[in-house]
Amino acid sequence: MNKQVRIYDTTLRDGTQGEGVSLSVDDKVKIARKLDELGVHYIEGGWPGSNPKDMNFFDKVKELDLQNSVITAFGSTRRSGIKASDDPNLNRLIQSGVKAAAIFGKTWDFHVTEALQTTLEENLQMIYDSILFLKEQGLEVIFDAEHFFDGYKNNEEYAIQAILKAQEAGADCITLCDTNGGSLPKEIEDIVKDVKEKVSTQVGIHCHNDGELAVANTLSAVRAGASHVQGTINGYGERCGNANLVSLLPNLQLKMGYSCIGSDPMQELVSISKFVHEIANQVPASNQPFVGNSAFAHKGGMHVSAVLKHPETYEHIKPEVLGNKRRVLVSELSGQSNLMFKAEEMGLTLDKNDPKVKEIIEKIKEMENLGYHYEAAEASFLLLVKKLLGEDITFFELDHFKILTDKESSDELTTEAVVKVKVNEEVVMTAAEGNGPVNALDHALRKALGEFYPVIHKMYLSDYKVRVLDEGEATASKVRVLIESSDGRNTWSTIGVSGNIIEASWHALVDSIRYHFMKQDEELEIIKKDTVKPPVGVNNH
Amino acid sequence: MNKQVRIYDTTLRDGTQGEGVSLSVDDKVKIARKLDELGVHYIEGGWPGSNPKDMNFFDKVKELDLQNSVITAFGSTRRSGIKASDDPNLNRLIQSGVKAAAIFGKTWDFHVTEALQTTLEENLQMIYDSILFLKEQGLEVIFDAEHFFDGYKNNEEYAIQAILKAQEAGADCITLCDTNGGSLPKEIEDIVKDVKEKVSTQVGIHCHNDGELAVANTLSAVRAGASHVQGTINGYGERCGNANLVSLLPNLQLKMGYSCIGSDPMQELVSISKFVHEIANQVPASNQPFVGNSAFAHKGGMHVSAVLKHPETYEHIKPEVLGNKRRVLVSELSGQSNLMFKAEEMGLTLDKNDPKVKEIIEKIKEMENLGYHYEAAEASFLLLVKKLLGEDITFFELDHFKILTDKESSDELTTEAVVKVKVNEEVVMTAAEGNGPVNALDHALRKALGEFYPVIHKMYLSDYKVRVLDEGEATASKVRVLIESSDGRNTWSTIGVSGNIIEASWHALVDSIRYHFMKQDEELEIIKKDTVKPPVGVNNH
């Protein structure tokens, strides 16, 4: 099959209309680079007429030398009653230096008279003039037919007239927008079919997710003949968001046989989705289709035993194709097959007839009952299992710590921690400042342990999350702390649960360090076998 | 129109297969009561054969006296090679005391030979015997045709044979399951149409969301003739979840004209969705279709001015119909119309020509740039605006505080706070313990202020959230603390941002208390006007 669908990304414009989504110019540039690697055909960078930040982006993005994507600027048809060439908004599109522009215009009669407060005739003229002006300046022009489906349902004749005007003015693509996001797949399909009979210009589709149908509506439009698809990474956008490109790409390309992007970039889908979540400071939903951590995670014991024999029994697609991977969850619902799989994945040798297997499962259930959640903290899980198997993974022990936080009226707050730990019968005491109790504790502990284990300086905490478990009691409730650490190559997650946030953080912190030391030890063993000598800077303890 | 669709909820069974979802027996009972109020036709309570917790639920739920919903138990066809009456699993369904049971059976030949490891013929007999046995015991029987769509695509003849066996045995409903969640709406529609021609029994549909299409797939099946719809509240479920009933109900009933539940319960949809999120300890996605906080939230200045004139310009449905409400967001993207709307909503008199309006907008942008996020903390927003308008909403001032956290080896951790505050030139110093620094601070502050403002004892903190803003620096990064407080009737949210978690918490805590005092003052003014005397126990300050 060789049906081509062109992908138009609007994460940087429509995506930032989502509640809680805010991107700096640098953020936008970083995301644009990733989108180019993914191979989308267009990147809508912003609305140069609406704010200086967007104009700044268009300047910066020129330095990027993108390989695959055309940078597009967004705007609207000219104001009523003036010439297109006098419209400041349209002129800013040209000043932005882009090769392609998307301008929206009204196609719903109600919006023309009520929101724009102009005549139906003048609106048609605004569409025509604006597109013609941009075409004369040599731009590729995409016409976004705002509220097209609501307009068509309300006044079919006028909606069609409006897009025919866009065609007459020379638009390169006419994108039908379900701006309010309330249409149903069958409606979209029927209306796009009708448009395809009346219009010879390329037809595009732009859906919103207010009915939880944006992906399905987009697929309906493509089946009916649309060949330009607009959406955002992770479905960010105003209200309930835009059509999610991260779900559209595998559906279109892997299931429906359309050609959108290459198959190599498809394997970067998980990584790009997470990258954008991170830059936009959004917490990824673990159940996000295709790319979520849970998307190929099996929990029920029955599913697990079947999927280990034949993945296709409970997987609709191969996770590797998108850069995702199969996971087997260990939880209170786990059976033996979950634990055995997990243990093997972590390189542990576990005999399923060993009575310790039962003991480990019991311990997990007990800890999960206390609020631990090992699905999210596999390093702590590994340490727990090793401890139950009798391995010594202690490395150091706490004697005591004290943390003092002090605030004088409007002055800055200071926090200091004093830590006393024992390492191989030696006792070391240190103090350090930090910009919070956990940070101070982390600093003091590093100072103390650094004397014995210089490898501690190779690791750092890369994320710190706090979750209140019993929300009814607020600051008095139990908290779960998740710490993510990294040594630059690998990351690992650890957990602590306690009524006291400091205690919970302490447990997660200690697990994180112990895991790092344990891994360094293992690597050291491997290196020793190969080279006899330990590498410089690593203490052999 | 009078097309009836029967709603089958499986939040308590399939929903708990979702990663991170775990419900106690009491949780399940609470949710069942809500589902009955919502008016779903069936509540699948669990799998009595799989664990004792589920059996316990069936005992407890009998005491509830449900009005609308039939409690259903879940199970599977008999094991191969034994009589249905000897199958412990099937017998537990009967022992659970339910009036209706849903049992799943294999309809995909590959699953029969590979996962079940039995013959195609024996599987058909297992379906027949199991249904017949339950029917003979007087139960209503729903047959869940597991992997039906994959089975049909692989071996159409066998898949149809399997459901015809279920019909022959007397099943009351045959539910076609897209177990792996990978089917497309058009496939579902075509296959259901074909089934409807071959089967006279009622047809049901059970979809998963692996392609972000579960809602659309379910609607396709209903359009093709399915009249029994399975799903979960908020779409919880294994991997990417099940079809989301919270989106299906308004689509089916309000958009497609099917009759599912009453129109009064429909207005409880937001409240039920949030209730289940809370019980299941899941963070609600603010962009959840229909019921999310952002579902009718308008951010872009252009949208805001239009929607204030005519809501239907940017809303696909009336938010009140589902118990949701329109929101206008104040953020760095805000224009004057957002601020004016918000101010009016909060009962502030603001003249749009007042030069302070511009000053307030500038201040909001500045604070948001520092990491504040007023969308989520409207009480802090109100205090900020009042302060900029010159109102005195201080009530008390900090002199200083100290917090000491102490941990001796494996002992419990102790945290103490000392607080010194000034109220009307009087200075008061108190100390208190807590199970964490913020909790200790909260306790000490309450003790100090309680002498002057006894109303402080009427309020409590109901939620406490911490968000790391710059995740790259972990415990050293900037944190945003959101505190939700309540006086039993109203709740309000406040915010603090700082490099130090204690400082950020302090700001949110102080805002929360000041907001409460301010509201009490306002009420007092109203009461004074009405009764002259202030009510007992409230200090007039």
Check residue B346 and give its pLDDT. 77
How would you label B81-111 residue by residue, b for 16+ Cβ within 10 Å and e otherwise? eeebeebebbbbbbebebebbbbbbbbbbbb
Q: Which residues of chain A lie closer than 8 angstroms to B209, CB-CB? A: 287, 289
CB–CB contact A400 B415 (8 Å): no
DSSP state, residue B420: E
Q: Judge whether A180 and B316 are in contact, CB under 8 Å.
A: yes
Which two three-digit tokens encode residue A187? Answer: 């409606």
Task: Tokens for A345, please give them.
Answer: 């994945």
For A397-512, the fitting CATH number among 1.20.1050.10, 3.30.230.10, 3.30.160.270, 2.40.50.100 is 3.30.160.270
Residue A526 has φ and ψ, to the nearest 5°, of -65, -45
Rg (alpha carbons) of chain B, rounded to whole number: 29
Q: Give the number of beta-carbon pairs within 8 Å between A and B.
A: 355
The band of A538, judged by pLDDT with boundaries at 50, 70 and 90, is: very low
Lowest mean pLDDT among A164-168, A267-271, B33-37, B405-409: B405-409
State the average pLDDT over residues A69-80: 97
**Length, in residues, of chain A:** 541
- Reply yes or no on whether the pLDDT at A44 is more than 90: yes
Q: Which of A220, A303, A415 sits opposite B500 (nearest CB)?
A: A415
Give the model confidence (pLDDT) of A425-471 as tens digits: 899 999 999 888 888 999 999 999 998 999 999 998 877 777 776 54
pLDDT-derived band at B453, boundaries 50, 70, 90: very high
* Fold equal for B364-395+459-532 and B396-452: yes
Residue type, A471: E
**Helix B88-95 vs helix B120-136: crossing angle, to nearest 10:** 20
Fold adopted by B364-395+459-532? Double Stranded RNA Binding Domain (3.30.160)
For the structural domain made of B396-452, what CATH number should be given? 3.30.160.740
Residues of B whose CB is below 8 A from A408: 399-400
Considering chain B, what is the average pLDDT of its residues? 89
Nearest residue of A to residue B224, measured between CA atoms: A186
The amino acid that residue B347 corresponds to is G
pLDDT in tens, A9-39: 999 999 998 887 878 888 899 999 999 999 9
Which of A92, A122, A88 has the alpha carbon at shortest distance from A105? A122
Query: Under a CB-based contact definition with an 8 Å cutoff, are residues B76 and B103 in contact?
Result: yes
Residues of A in contact with B296 (CB under 8 A): 239
Structure tokens at A271: 């990584």
Label residue B477 by pLDDT band (50, 70, 90): low
Q: How far is CA A171 from the centre of its chain?
A: 33
Is the CB of residue B111 less than 8 Å from the CB of residue B146? yes
Residue with tokens 């019991």: A362
CB A376, CB A399: distance < 8 Å: no
Name the minimum distance, in Å, from the CA of B436 to any CA of chain A.
5
| Chain A closest-CA separation from residue B483 CA (Å) | 8
Nearest by CB: A255 against B184, B333, B376: B184
Q: What sections of A230-300 are H helices per DSSP?
A: 245-250, 263-266, 269-279
Distance from the Cα of residue B157 to its chain's centroid: 41
Residues of chain A with Cβ-Cβ distance to B110 below 8 Å are 310, 312-313
- Beta carbons within 8 Å of B181's beta carbon, 6+ residues apart: A316, B207, B208, B209, B210, B211, B214, B239, B240
pLDDT for A66 equals: 95
- Please determine, for residue B1, whether its predicted confidence score (pLDDT) is greater than 60: no
CA Rg, chain A, in Å?
Answer: 29
The pLDDT confidence band at residue A499, using thresholds 50, 70 and 90, is confident
Query: B359 to chain A nearest CA, in Å?
Result: 18
Taking the C-alpha atoms of residue B105 and residue B162, their distance in angstroms, rounded to an integer, is 9
Q: Which of B500, B505, B506 to mutate to test the interface with A (most CBs of A within 10 A)?
A: B500
Q: Are A262 and A299 in contact (CB under 8 A)?
A: no
What is the full DSSP assignment across A215-237?
HHHHHHHHHTT--EEEEBGGG--
How many angstroms away from the CA of B213 is the closest CA of chain A?
Answer: 6
pLDDT in the model for residue B527: 54
C-beta atoms of A409 and B398 within 8 A: yes
In this predicted structure, the answer to whether residue B409 has a pLDDT above a threshold of 50 is yes
B250 contacts in A (CB within 8 Å)? 211
**Do A286 and B398 make contact, defined as CB atoms within 8 angstroms?**
no
Q: Where are the domains of chain B?
A: 3-261, 364-395+459-532, 396-452
Task: Give the model's confidence band at B363: pLDDT under 50 very low, under 70 low, under 90 confident, else very high.
Answer: confident
CA distance B307 to B313: 6
- Cα B63 to Cα B456: distance, rounded to the nearest angstrom: 40
Which position has the token pair 């576990």?
A350
Report which of A369, A311, A303, A361 is spatially closest to residue A336, judged by C-alpha positions. Answer: A361
Confidence of residue A313 (pLDDT cuts 50, 70, 90): confident
Phi-psi group of B314: left, alpha or beta (phi > 0 → left; psi -120 to 50 → alpha; rest → beta): alpha
User: Per mean pLDDT, which range of A207-216, B64-73, B481-490 is the poorest?
Assistant: B481-490
**Alpha-carbon distance B272 to A28, whole Å?**
38
Q: Chain A: residue nearest B327 by CA?
A: A239
Which segment of B219-228, B291-300, B394-403 scores lowest on mean pLDDT?
B291-300
Q: Where are the beta strands (DSSP E) in B67-199?
A: 70-76, 100-106, 140-146, 173-178
Instruction: Find the range with the poorest average confidence among A297-306, A370-379, B155-164, B206-215.
Output: A297-306
Match domain A3-261 to its CATH number in 3.40.190.10, 3.20.20.70, 3.20.20.105, 3.40.50.720.
Answer: 3.20.20.70
